[in-house]
């Protein structure tokens, strides 16, 4: 979920409530594409109050180490446990390109900070006075990255820094996902949530390729959307096919349906996933 561009969270919460019983958790982005949005931390707390497990995304782009430390401890106090540690999209990709990025800590160092907090270590000296935190830290990965050796090396660094799960960028190549899971993630003991992005039209796909860092939607999929009588329905079908395929490769799927979360139930239905019974894992 993308937090609202404003102070009213009602639409976001309504969309999230409609997914209860269908998904295990809801990711909340943190200034994705360097665009102003409501605080991810605030939305995560609201989701928790609504009985929905959040995954809080935190980036180092907009915070120095003191702010990161404060937010991590604050999240723990608010009952938030899942934290996806990210470097953050470049400011130049957003709608305020003259803003000044911080980037004192990138994803690996944020993971190290979380790990130290979980050990009860004060980042300056000694121990935290009230014991360690119990944050469950994850990291991002791109199975379709241009450099395989670079991808493997960085994933190993993230695991060593304290990552306990991986969430991938959108994946369009099942073979690349399988290779990544089998050769990199599995030997490190890291479960993988494979990224599936809901495309709404050929124009939307071309826009994503142009503005989203790391996106690489194949021309064949763009042409499939362009030829469809109902592009929105075709996008749902493509996402459902990917969910069904990736579930046999990875340990889970991360669905990204920006501003179209109401279509997620259809994707899951077409992928052959029934609603979860209470206490049942999928």
Distance CA 9, CA 75 (A): 18
Report the interhelical angle of 219-227 vs 202-211 (nearest 10°). 150
Hey, is 20 helix, strand or coil? strand
Q: What is the 3-state secondary structure (H, E, C) of 24-67?
A: CCEEECCCHHHCCCCCHHHHHHHHHHCCCCEEEEEECCCCCHHH
Spans of the chain below 70 pLDDT: 276-282
pTM to 2 decimals?
0.94
Q: Which residues have a Cβ under 8 Å from the Cβ of 168 and sit 6 or more positions away?
A: 140, 141, 142, 143, 177, 180, 192, 193, 194, 195, 250, 254
DSSP helix/strand/coil, 123: coil
Which distant-in-sequence residues (6+ apart) come within 8 Å of 189 by Cβ? Answer: 159
Q: In the beta sheet, which residues pair with residue 170?
A: 195
Question: How many Cβ atoms are within 10 Å of 24's Cβ, its own excluded?
Answer: 13
Closest CA to 90 of 229, 213, 271, 191: 213
**Domains contained in the chain, CATH given:** 1-141 (3.20.20.220)
Residues 6+ apart with CB under 8 A from 24: 53, 252, 276, 281, 282
Rounded to a whole number of angstroms, the distance between the first and last alpha carbons of the chain is 21
Give helix 40-49 / helix 65-77 axis angle, nearest 10°: 10
Kindly report, residue by residue over 192-230, the tens digit of the pLDDT.
999 999 999 999 999 999 887 778 899 999 999 999 999
Q: pLDDT value at position 93? A: 85
Chain centroid, CA 232 distance in Å: 23
């Amino acid at each position: 979920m993308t937090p609202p561009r404003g102070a009213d969270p009602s639409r976001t919460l309504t969309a999230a409530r409609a997914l209860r019983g269908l998904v295990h958790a809801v990711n909340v982005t943190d200034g994705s594409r360097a665009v102003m949005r409501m605080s991810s931390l605030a939305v995560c707390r609201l989701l928790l109050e609504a009985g929905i497990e959040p995954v809080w995304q935190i980036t180092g782009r907009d915070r120095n180490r003191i702010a990161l430390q404060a937010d991590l401890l604050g999240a723990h106090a608010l009952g938030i446990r899942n934290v996806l540690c990210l470097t953050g999209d470049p400011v130049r990709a957003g709608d305020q390109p003259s803003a000044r990025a911080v980037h004192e800590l990138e994803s690996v160092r944020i993971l190290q900070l979380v790990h130290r907090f979980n050990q009860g270590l004060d980042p300056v000296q000694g121990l935290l006075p009230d014991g360690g935190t119990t944050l469950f830290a994850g990291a991002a990965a791109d199975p379709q990255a241009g450099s395989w050796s670079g991808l493997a090396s960085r994933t190993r660094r993230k695991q060593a820094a304290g990552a306990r799960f991986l969430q991938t960028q959108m994946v369009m190549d099942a073979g690349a996902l399988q290779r990544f899971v089998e050769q990199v993630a599995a030997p490190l003991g890291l479960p993988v949530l494979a990224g599936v992005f809901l495309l709404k039209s050929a124009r939307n796909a071309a826009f994503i390729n142009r503005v989203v860092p790391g996106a690489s939607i194949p021309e064949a999929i763009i042409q499939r959307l362009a030829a469809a009588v109902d592009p929105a329905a075709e996008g749902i079908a493509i996402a459902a096919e990917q969910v069904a395929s990736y579930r046999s490769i990875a340990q889970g799927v991360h669905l990204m349906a920006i501003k179209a979360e109401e279509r997620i139930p259809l994707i899951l239905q077409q992928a052959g996933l029934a609603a979860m019974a209470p206490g049942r894992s999928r």
